[in-house]
Structures are given as C-alpha cells and as structure tokens.
C-alpha cells in the first residue's frame, strides 16, 4: 500500500505521483466525480454605443486532446526514457476538447458555459472509466503560458494551484474572446450578425441560401435564436466542425536545459529563502499538531466526564443541586 501525503503548500503535481500511486492520484485529482470549479473570467466588452458581434475573419481552431490521457494500468512498467508511453488508448475525450475550443472562440459564450459543457461531455463519454477520467482531468488544463513578469518576481510568489490555474484558464478564454469578437455600432449589430450567418452558410452549407445568396427563412431564424445568437453560432460550428475547425498540432516544448549554477551570493540568497520557507512550514505543522493534540485532549476529558457521570448515576451517587 502506498501512502501519499498532500499539502496545499508543496507543489506535488499529480503527474509526479502517477508512477508510485496511479490509482490514488487518479481518484484524488482525476477520478470519478472530479470537476474543478468553473473559472470566473471577464466577458468581452465594447465601448458605450457599441455591441460585440462575431468576427467573421476569425478561423476556429483547436489542439484537441487526443493524447491527454495516461493509461494508469500500464504505469507499473513506466519507462523513464518514455514517460508518456502509456498514453490512454481507450475512450477519448478529444471531442469534448474540440467542442470547448469552439465554445471559447464563440463571441458571447461565457467561461462557465464552456466549463460546464466540457465536463458534461467528458462524464457522458467516460462513465466512470478511470483512464478516461484522468484524460479528462489532463485535457482540462489550459495551454501553458509563459509569464515573464512572474518569473522576474524575487522572491517568487508562493505556489497556489487554484490561483495559478484560474489565471491561466481566464487568460486563454479572454484571449480567445478577443480574437472571436469585434465591436460594431448597436444599430449595425443585427445586420452584421446576419452577414456572419450568411458567410458561414456560404462556406459550410450553401443550401441554406437562396438564389440571391440570402438566408432562407430568416424570420424563422430570428424567431428561434433571438437573444441566443452565441448559442446559434456555437451549435452551427459544432455541427460542421469537421470543416469549420482547424485542428492544429500542439508545439512540443524545447529540450530541457538545466539552469546554470548559481553564484555564491545567489545560492546563499536561495538557501536563506528556502530555510525561511521550511521554518514557516514547520511552524504551521507544529501549530496544527498542537491544535490537534488539544482537540484530542478535550475529547478525551469530555469522554471521561461522561463515563464518570454514567458510573455515578448507576451507583446512585448523583447529587442534584
């Protein structure tokens, strides 16, 4: 049996635990029922007098996530020279990842909507399959974004998983919305929306247009989708995604290069920082241990008092005041 200790202060990632305890890791972070909180991101906004509408020049694209999972059943024979050799070959949540890309790149879609639809999609596909659940967890991570300002902070900010994840999730969503949206005068909004719809049909389903290139049954379209225009474009892109979405190959990270050795002054500074951090962790651990011991002592005294009261009552020694 493998025992794994977790602490919100120590950045032990799930991947670091997979080789030693794949089942524990999957159950803790990507097992059945796993779903991180939805990111609360800023919606795209236009200046006063203008309204956001889809940018017809924006080309939908996605990396997908065909290789987002690891087969936990094969981790016992993990090859250190090929740690990703156990990629999940079973159920795939790639469809969910592509649909999420469509959502985040649909002008007007909210970050919560895209989050909820992704997890509903993965749960429908996985149905409790452990490898699939883990693939869904890994596929939910935003593409890594280098933040030069964070790197330059001295000392570096203390690692905070939820805060860091929220920042990256929102950065990707907000960047997608900036590409997918444009601002037009409110009076031009409906005509621009119709123009976008015509452009989409012309490319992906010309049968929806009449001989003059106009949308057939336009009144019915507005009757059905008025106030839900983003849902309409998202549904269309999802329906025709094989033609509408460009699937890109995710760039591979450059080979790892170890950092140059620190100078004596830098090493002394880093040693001091780590010593202070360890002292902080030790103090917090000591405080928790003391609080736990105090709670255990109080419970023991309470239990002893109840047992004594019960014994006194049975012996007839209870005195009423």
Is residue 152 domain-resident? Answer: yes
Flag whether 261 is in a domain. no
- Name residues whose C-beta falls within 8 Å of residue 72's C-beta, 6 or more positions apart in sequence: 18, 22, 23, 25, 26, 86, 130, 131, 134
Count structural domains, the chain. 1
The CA distance from 207 to 201, in Å, is 8
DSSP string, 73-132: GGGGG--TT-TTTTB--SS--HHHHHHHHHHHTSTT--HHHHHHHHHHHHHHHHTT-HHH
Structure tokens at 140: 């939910």
Range of the domain at 149: 14-247
Any domain includes 297 = no
Structure tokens at 57: 């020049």
Q: Which DSSP category does 20 fall into?
A: T
pLDDT digits (tens, 9 = 90+) for 142-199: 554 444 444 555 555 555 656 666 777 799 999 999 999 999 999 999 999 999 999 9
pLDDT digit string, tens, across residues 197-209:
999 999 999 999 9
In a domain, 219, yes or no: yes
Q: Which residue matches tokens 């860091």? A: 164
Buried b (16+ CB within 10 A) or exposed e, 298-310: eeeeeeeeeeeee
* 184-221: burial string, b at 16+ Cβ within 10 Å, e else: beeeebeebbeebbbebbeebeeebeeeeeebeeeeeb
Instruction: Give the ranges where 182-244 is alpha helix by DSSP (H).
Output: 189-204, 218-225, 229-239, 241-244
Q: Is residue 278 part of a domain?
A: no
Residue 301 domain-assigned (yes or no)? no
Q: Which of 36, 168, 56 is nearest to 106 (CA)?
A: 56
pLDDT tens track for 19-70: 444 444 444 444 455 688 888 999 999 999 999 999 999 999 999 998 765 5
| Distance separating alpha carbons of residues 299 and 307, to the nearest angstrom | 12
Q: Is the pLDDT of residue 126 over 80?
A: yes
Residue 224 lies in a domain: yes
320 within domain boundaries:
no
pTM, two decimal places: 0.65
């Amino acid at each position: 049996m493998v025992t794994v200790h977790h602490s919100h202060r120590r950045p032990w990632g799930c991947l670091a635990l997979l080789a030693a305890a794949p089942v524990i890791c999957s159950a803790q972070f990507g097992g059945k029922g796993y779903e991180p909180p939805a990111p609360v991101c800023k919606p795209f906004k236009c200046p006063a007098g203008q309204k956001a509408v889809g940018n017809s020049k924006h080309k939908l694209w996605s990396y997908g996530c065909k290789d987002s999972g690891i087969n936990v059943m094969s981790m016992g024979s993990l090859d250190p020279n090929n740690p990703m050799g156990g990629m999940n070959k079973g159920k795939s949540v790639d469809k969910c990842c592509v649909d999420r890309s469509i959502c985040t790149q649909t002008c007007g879609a909210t970050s919560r909507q895209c989050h909820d639809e992704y997890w509903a999609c993965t749960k429908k596909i996985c149905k409790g399959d452990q490898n699939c659940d883990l693939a869904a967890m890994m596929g939910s991570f935003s593409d890594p974004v280098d933040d030069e300002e964070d790197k330059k902070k001295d000392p570096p900010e203390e690692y905070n998983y939820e805060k860091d994840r929220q920042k990256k999730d929102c950065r990707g969503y907000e960047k997608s919305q900036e590409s997918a949206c444009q601002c037009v005068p409110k009076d031009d909004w409906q005509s621009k929306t119709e123009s976008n719809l015509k452009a989409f049909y012309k490319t992906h389903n010309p049968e929806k247009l009449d001989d003059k290139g106009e949308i057939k049954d336009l009144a019915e379209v507005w009757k059905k989708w008025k106030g839900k225009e983003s849902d309409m474009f998202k549904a269309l892109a999802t329906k025709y995604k094989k033609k509408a979405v460009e699937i890109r190959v995710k760039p591979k990270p450059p080979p790892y290069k170890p950092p140059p050795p620190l100078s004596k002054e830098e090493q002394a500074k880093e040693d001091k920082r780590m010593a202070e951090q360890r002292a902080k962790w030790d103090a917090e651990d000591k405080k928790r241990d003391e609080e736990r011991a105090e709670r255990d002592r109080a419970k023991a005294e309470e239990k002893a008092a109840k047992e004594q009261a019960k014994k006194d009552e049975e012996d007839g020694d209870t005195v009423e005041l």
